Amino acid sequence: MGKTSITNTLKNLRYHIKTYGCQMNFSDSERLSGLLESYGYKNTEDIKNASLVIFNTCSIKQKAEDKVLGSMKIVAKLKKDNPDLLIGITGCMTRVPSTKNSEDKDKLFKLLKDLDVCFPIKDLTKLPSLLKDIKPELAEFETQEADLNNYFKIQPKYKTSFQAYIPIMTGCDKFCTYCIVPYSRGREVSRPILDIINEAKKLVSEGCIELTLLGQNVNSYGLSWTDQKSGNFSYEENPFVQLLKAVDEIEGLQRLRFTSPHPQDMKHDVVDFIAESKTIMPCLHMPLQSGSDYILKKMNRNYNSQQFKESIEYIRKKIPGCSITTDMIVGFCGETDEYFQESKAFFREMCFDLAFISQYSTRKGTVAGMLKKDDVPKEVKSKRWHEMNDLLRETSFINNKKFKDKTVKVLVEKFSERSQKLHGRSEHFKEVVFKGPQDLIGKIVEVKIDNVLEWLLEGSLV
């Protein structure tokens, strides 16, 4: 390839990222965007104009993988019109950093003949050399690779100036039998507290008013075997509490959230500090997964319903009115009607504000996928999902009614063309919809709640 052709290639570098899954994945995409733009790529919202399309994937459920594979095949058709288009996959579906030219390839290359590059997100720093392997004219990217110490050193491109996610750790050591994350993201490794504080301070100094700390089990920050051997943490006080205290003291920060904690590690000292903090919002996500002790044991969740209940009671005692959300799985291996009814009754007793309810699907490589029979029929899983979702409508509405005629503080996030109204989140993470000027986006305003629905609150500016 001649110099003119190489120059034209470098001038027309445009990327498009399609992100699936949880907040961790969206945070990962921000770092991926930052890396690509540091090399001269420009973002394009029109996928047809892209020279590089990357799918940041989720594999927590089979449905999520099927959605990605379906979208991949659609994008692959664009290659017929643009043979120079590169297609990549990262995220939870990947295992081996590789290209179509590699000897040791990820299994995804067998499924997707148009795939060019594949890398786990923890191997994001290898992307420059992977791109060079496909297109030698991109070799100058590889020379910058040595400047990247690790994934966390990459400067993200944040979606907004007023909100940001900060990953504080990666990986998982819990090994729930249904979950692929310990295998897709590896073992738990926490960032040094000073690195997190520096990133948080920089964001706040640039106008960010709400931060969300992210981790697969965010409240086990600093506790893994790897963390304890690193010498980066002191244990006179819970490392997660130390981190919360340090972020809470950042001048100019107005809101602090974190997700997802594991019930096993939601100790009293964490709750006690949340109760006295200046910035942590009164909303906690506590993934239950099942209300049946038998199913919880089969899931290897390491707590029972009574322990979970005591934790929730302590939270509600120390943080009155705290909004509590959860995750639930229906149809896990061995879940009889009796066990499901136990789970449903416990869900009702906990009276959750919101829940992400999913139907169990076998994940290859997990303990459940290898050792447990997926013995609940699809139609039964679907029926149980609808039952649980109907119950959620009730509990969500019960909790939302507490805000009728109250005034709440809302961080305005967007203007909806569909509703012609502003949308935002209250302190308790309730979605609030109201009329107002678009220049309020990114600001915290007071809204009086006039109407309460199952999933959101409607109000008017005070």
Kindly indicate the confidence band of residue 10, based on its pLDDT and cuts at 50, 70 and 90.
low
Classify each residue of 361-400 as buried b or exposed e, where b means 16 or more C-beta atoms within 10 Å of its C-beta. Answer: bebeebbbbeebebebeeebbeebbeebeebbeebbeebb
Q: Where in the chain are all domains bearing CATH 3.40.50.2300? A: 3-151
Residues in the chain: 462
Q: What is the Cα–Cα distance from 400 to 176, expressed in whole angstroms?
A: 32
Reduce the DSSP state of residue 263 to 3 states and report it: helix
pLDDT at 3: 41
Kindly indicate the confidence band of residue 326, based on its pLDDT and cuts at 50, 70 and 90.
very high
Rg (CA), the chain: 23
Residue 329 vs residues 76, 181, 277, 406: alpha-carbon distances, Å: 33, 16, 32, 34
Contact 173, 224 (CB under 8 A): yes
Structure tokens at 169: 């750790």
Q: In terms of CATH, what superfamily is 404-461? A: Nucleic acid-binding proteins (2.40.50.140)
Return the minimum-mean-pLDDT range out of 167-176, 233-242, 279-288, 442-451.
Answer: 167-176
pLDDT at 2: 44
In the block, residue with structure tokens 């961080």: 411
DSSP label at residue 5: H
Kindly indicate the confidence band of residue 11, based on its pLDDT and cuts at 50, 70 and 90.
low
- Longest CA–CA span in the chain (Å) reads 71
Main-chain dihedrals φ then ψ at residue 262, nearest 5 degrees: -105, 135
Q: What is the Cα–Cα distance from 294 to 240, expressed in whole angstroms?
A: 30
Q: What is the Cα–Cα distance from 158 to 54, expressed in whole angstroms?
A: 17
Q: What is the Cα–Cα distance from 184 to 25, expressed in whole angstroms?
A: 12
More confident residue, 150 or 215: 215
pLDDT at 140: 65
Contact 94, 105 (CB under 8 A): no
pLDDT at 269: 97
Helix (H) or strand (E) holding 397: helix 378-400
Architecture of domain 3-151: 3-Layer(aba) Sandwich (3.40)
Over range 142-154, report the average pLDDT. Answer: 61
The topology (CATH level 3) of 153-402 is pyruvate-formate lyase- activating enzyme (3.80.30)
Tens digits of residue pLDDT in 163-217: 999 999 988 999 999 988 888 778 899 999 999 999 999 999 999 999 999 998 9
Residue ranges in 123-267 assigned as alpha helix (H): 127-134, 139-144, 181-184, 193-205, 225-230, 239-248
Over range 370-379, report the average pLDDT. Answer: 89
In the block, residue with structure tokens 């907040």: 23
Contact 152, 198 (CB under 8 A): no
Kindly indicate the confidence band of residue 93, based on its pLDDT and cuts at 50, 70 and 90.
confident
Residue 344 has pLDDT above 90, yes or no: yes
Question: If you average pLDDT over every residue of the chain, what do you get?
Answer: 91
pLDDT at 293: 98
Kindly indicate the confidence band of residue 1, based on its pLDDT and cuts at 50, 70 and 90.
very low
Helix (H) or strand (E) holding 267: none
DSSP label at residue 289: B
Kindly indicate the confidence band of residue 421, based on its pLDDT and cuts at 50, 70 and 90.
very high
Q: Which of 277, 391, 294 is nearest to 335 (CA)?
A: 294
Reduce the DSSP state of residue 449 to 3 states and report it: strand
pLDDT at 9: 52
Residue 283 has pLDDT above 70, yes or no: yes
Residue 144 has pLDDT above 60, yes or no: no
Kindly indicate the confidence band of residue 123, based on its pLDDT and cuts at 50, 70 and 90.
confident
Q: Where in the chain are all domains bearing CATH 2.40.50.140? A: 404-461
Residue 454 has pLDDT above 60, yes or no: yes
Q: What is the Cα–Cα distance from 204 to 163, expressed in whole angstroms?
A: 9
